[in-house]
Amino acid sequence: MPPFRDEASAGLLASEAAGDNAPALSITEISALLKRTVEDRFGYVRVRGELSGVKRAASGHLYLSLKDEGARLDGVMWRGGAQRLGFMPEDGIEVVATGKLTTYPGRSNYQIVIERMEIAGEGALLALLAKTKARLETEGLFAPSAKQQLPYLPRVIGVVTSPTGAVIRDILHRLRDRFPTHVVVWPVLVQGPGAAGQIAAAVRGFSALEPCGAVPRPDLVIVARGGGSIEDLWCFNDEDVVRAIAGCTIPIISAVGHETDTTLADFAADVRAPTPTAAAEIAVPVRGELVAGLADLHARQQRAVVRVVSLARERLEQRARRLPVPQALLEGQAQRLDDLGDRLRRALAHRTGLAAALLAQRSAGLRPAVLAARLQQGRERLTAQRLRPGLVLQRIEAARTQVIGLDRLRRSLDPKAPLARGYVLVTDGEGQLVRSRTMADKQTLLRLEFADGVFDAVPAAAAPPRSAPRLRPPAAGNSQPKLL
């Protein structure tokens, strides 16, 4: 180690002592030396700690800090490693990060470049699961009101699972035994990196199918996987998968793991099945049971029809027994008919006898002598009633006197009778009588009717002003209007 100079020997300018083999280094040089030293010494480390300050940059890189009770270590995970993560990093999760230590000269600190990050133990994994479940439940993704009703008899069933596992064979076998149905399989990974993305894409793909497209749109979707550990089933706890299932427009049955296994996909689905085989049983009814049920219903229908007819026949027979014999109903009426017929014959004979007696009585007055005497009496009354001329002339004279009086009254009431004595009848252009000077001033034409003719005149108030002398009255018979 080179000797250090004391303060007294310090000069104003930096200089190197004799034999000093440690020249002054630049900041960049010493930062590079530190970086190389740290990376050589800690080229591979595994660090356990709690995530804090997790932040995903727009570039896809993940920046975070790992901490425990006594220290804190910054970390970074490049985009490629972040995309391969099997869970969503959040603050408070305890993880085990694998990578190498390096320095960051820009801030003079050291950090870990994480290549792989895993949840530290099953307890931390369950804690993360509970936290994610609480957050999604708060958003209403698991609400019972959002669940859809399963179709009773789906024509097409979509299955999201691995195409090579025993799950799809169990489902197809169970569907074939219960009710053969058209099945559309969307093959996906059900474990490991990329499985969550494929499952979410499959669910959204089924939901986006058109009803009359080339690929039939399912009436029901089954998301299935066999049993496994919590780590094996973790892709079904992925938030993207849960949101895809909750947002699917097709009813979904979740059949992940065995009966004791529970994932967030089970809470988001419309129905949870304990096993994939149970999902097939829930999806379709038993065809044999349906046929037997239909046959039973048909038999019950026939029995019901026969029973109705039988009951109606019994009631008819009972009521028919209570009805009287038709012959007994007619006996009384027949007896009455005979009685009335006998009475009618007696009445006709009696009426005939009375009529014969009356005719004999009346015919006595129709003898020729009696008729001649009555004719003579009538002739005498007619002679006595002949009219006398004096009576007729007297009535004619009374009528003439009455007619003369009426004619005299008519002539006295004739409005044109005074015209012969020099009076004039004044009317307007429409033939209405003009009774006063005021009414005459308002007219534009006056018609004067004399005993020997009609004369039209224009009042001076209605005539236009002029300087010509007044015209003399026209000769009799001229009906043209003249100015006065």
Tell me how far apart the terminal alpha carbons of the chain are, to the nearest angstrom. Answer: 159
CB atoms near residue 205 (< 10 Å): 14
Same domain for 93 and 188, yes or no, is: no
Which of 98, 119, 140 is the endpoint of a domain?
A: 119
Residue 261 within a domain:
yes
Task: Enumerate helices (H) and strands (E) in the chain, giving the number of each.
Answer: 13, 14
Same domain for 258 and 296, yes or no, is: no
Strands 62-67 and 45-56: antiparallel
Residue 352 within a domain:
no
Q: What is residue 231's predicted lDDT score, i.e. its pLDDT?
A: 78
What does the CA dihedral 41, 45, 51, 53 come to, rounded to 10 degrees?
30
Q: What is residue 20's predicted lDDT score, i.e. its pLDDT?
A: 60
**204 vs 240: CA distance, rounded Å:** 11
Same domain for 247 and 300, yes or no, is: no
Same domain for 218 and 296, yes or no, is: no
**267 vs 259: CA distance, rounded Å:** 14
Same domain for 86 and 182, yes or no, is: no
Amino acid at position 325, single letter: V
Under a CB-based contact definition with an 8 Å cutoff, are residues 227 and 258 in contact?
Answer: yes
Amino acid at position 23, single letter: P
**87 vs 236: CA distance, rounded Å:** 11
**102 vs 80: CA distance, rounded Å:** 19
Same domain for 160 and 271, yes or no, is: yes
Q: What is residue 482's predicted lDDT score, i.e. its pLDDT?
A: 43
Q: What is residue 441's predicted lDDT score, i.e. its pLDDT?
A: 81
Strands 252-256 and 220-225: parallel
Q: What is the CATH number of the domain that holds 112?
A: 2.40.50.140
pLDDT tens, residue order, the chain (484 aa): 455 455 545 556 666 665 566 677 778 878 888 888 887 888 888 888 888 888 888 888 899 888 888 888 888 998 888 888 877 788 878 888 898 888 887 777 888 889 888 777 666 677 777 888 888 888 988 999 989 999 999 999 999 999 988 899 999 999 999 999 999 999 999 988 889 999 999 999 999 999 888 899 999 999 999 888 877 888 898 889 999 999 999 999 999 988 787 889 999 999 999 999 999 999 999 988 888 989 999 999 999 999 999 999 999 988 888 887 777 778 788 888 888 888 998 999 999 989 888 888 877 767 777 778 888 888 887 777 665 666 678 888 888 888 888 888 888 777 777 777 778 888 887 888 888 888 888 888 888 888 788 888 888 766 666 554 444 454 444 444 444 4
Which of 323, 345, 375 is the endpoint of a domain?
A: 323
Under a CB-based contact definition with an 8 Å cutoff, are residues 248 and 206 in contact?
Answer: yes
Same domain for 75 and 188, yes or no, is: no
Q: Return the half-sphere exposure (C-beta side, CA atoms, 13 A cut-off) of residue 421.
A: 4
Residue 146 within a domain:
no
Token pair in block for residue 209: 């199918």
Same domain for 163 and 270, yes or no, is: yes
Q: What is residue 242's predicted lDDT score, i.e. its pLDDT?
A: 93
Residue 124 within a domain:
no
Domain tally, the chain: 4
Same domain for 218 and 298, yes or no, is: no
Considering the entire predicted model, what is its pTM? Answer: 0.48
Structural domain for 435, as ranges: 418-483
Q: What is residue 361's predicted lDDT score, i.e. its pLDDT?
A: 80
Same domain for 295 and 180, yes or no, is: no
Residue 341 within a domain:
no
Residue 383 within a domain:
no
Residue 2 within a domain:
no
Q: What is residue 462's predicted lDDT score, i.e. its pLDDT?
A: 65
Residue 108 within a domain:
yes
Same domain for 169 and 279, yes or no, is: yes
Under a CB-based contact definition with an 8 Å cutoff, are residues 66 and 76 in contact?
Answer: no
Q: What is residue 216's predicted lDDT score, i.e. its pLDDT?
A: 92
Which of 91, 119, 147 is the endpoint of a domain?
A: 119
Continuous segment of H or E residues that includes residue 312: helix 287-322
Same domain for 267 and 318, yes or no, is: no
